Amino acid sequence: MAEKRFDVTHVPGAALIAGVTFLALYVPVLILVVNAFNGGDMAGQWEGASLRWFAAALDNTAFRNAALNSLIVAVSAATVATGLATMAALAVSRGRPVKGQGGIFIILNQPLLVPEIVFAIALMIVLARLKQVTGYQGLGYVIAAHTTFCIPFAFLPIRARLAGMDLTLETASMDLYASRFYTFRRVTLPLLLPGILAGFMLAFVISLDNVVVSSFVKSPGQETLPTYLMSELRRNLTSEIYAISALLLFASISIVAASWVVTRTKE
């Protein structure tokens, strides 16, 4: 007879804890989504279902600008971060071990080690000076800052995918007259693609909802979606904020779901 493993679901109260946790996580989000469809003027007072606040949000130029900025930042930062993460993952898992490989891991994971607020303040001080010297005030700073903390998130799924890949496949390719580059293009890269896509989408979502670094690094007048929502909350609490939050939620869920589907079907 097989030995019985410890099963946490048999602990008294396990179901209750799980239930409460689930409610605590999802009920507030659900309330937010419901409120986004509230037709009334005052947030929190239900006056019938309506799409009016979604319409108002889409009509709001400040929101549209912030959304566009967020999209530009997220796409750019995720693209650069994924590119760098792919190269880093290949470097540490293919060929001879690089000298100081441990150091590379520390640098890569810096954003996971250093508290975000510390990093943000440090960046603010340096970038304020840089903005003064160069006169450039654009989104480039935010993109660069987001890239740094996107790298570890992009790196992890790519490295996991590489680690699970059979090295014999690359050997077989070389045996069949393929050069290193041809092997990379026709064997390694296609097999790595699901990992790269997963890394990109993770990085994209992480960048999309960042508040702390964005607030400290952005130039005056610049807003990303999260910083716009923060400032709006201080001024007027209409259901428009719920509508915008709901839109952000849908976008985020779609991206994560899409990445999940892509990685699943490729395997």
Partner 1 sequence: MLDIRSLSKKFGSGAGAFHALKSIDITIEEGEFFTLLGPSGCGKTTLLRMIAGFEQPSGGQLVLDGKDIATIPPNHRPVNTVFQSYALFPHMTVAQNVAFGLEARGTNPAEVAPRVDEILEIVQMAHLRDRKSSQMSGGQQQRVALARALAPRPRILLLDEPLSALDLKLRKQMQFELKRLQGELGLTFIFVTHDQDEALTMSDRIAVMEGGTLQQVASPRSLYDHPANRFVAEFIGEANFLPGTIVDGKLFLAGSPPVPLLREKKSRGAVAVMIRPEQVVVGATSEKAITLDGRVESLVFSGTDTHVSLRLQNGTTLSLRSPNTSHAGTALADGQALQVSLPIDALHVLPEETADAA
Q: Which stretch binds partner 1 (CB under 8 A): 119-127, 139-147, 166-174, 215-223?
A: 166-174
Amino acid letter, 39 = G
Q: Does 29 bind partner 1 (CB under 8 A)?
A: no
Tell me if 157 sits within 8 A of 202, measured CB to CB: yes
Burial bucket for residue 109 (CB in 10 Å: 0-12, 13-18, 19+): middle
Q: Which stretch binds partner 1 (CB under 8 A): 147-155, 168-176, 198-206, 241-249?
A: 168-176
Q: Does 94 bind partner 1 (CB under 8 A)?
A: no
Residue 168 Cβ, how far from partner 1 at the closest point, in Å?
4
Residue 158 Cβ, how far from partner 1 at the closest point, in Å?
17
Q: Which two tokens stand for residue 181?
A: 């580059």
DSSP string, 121-169: HHHHHHHHHHHHHH---STHHHHHHHHHHHHHHHHHHHHHHHHTS-HHH
> Beta partners for 48?
none
Question: Would you say 96 or 234 has its CB closer to partner 1?
Answer: 96
Question: Would you say 35 or 173 has its CB closer to partner 1?
Answer: 173
Residue 94 Cβ, how far from partner 1 at the closest point, in Å?
15
Q: Does 26 bind partner 1 (CB under 8 A)?
A: no
Rounded CA-CA distance 128/67 in Å is: 24
**Interface with partner 1 (CB under 8 A), residue from 175, 220, 234, 236:** 175
**Interface with partner 1 (CB under 8 A), residue from 76, 173, 222, 239:** 173
Rounded CA-CA distance 240/74 in Å is: 23
Residue 171 Cβ, how far from partner 1 at the closest point, in Å?
6
**Interface with partner 1 (CB under 8 A), residue from 178, 212, 255, 256:** 178
Rounded CA-CA distance 197/190 in Å is: 11
Q: Which residues of this protein are in contact with partner 1, per CB under 8 A?
A: 166, 168-169, 171-179, 182, 186-187, 190-191
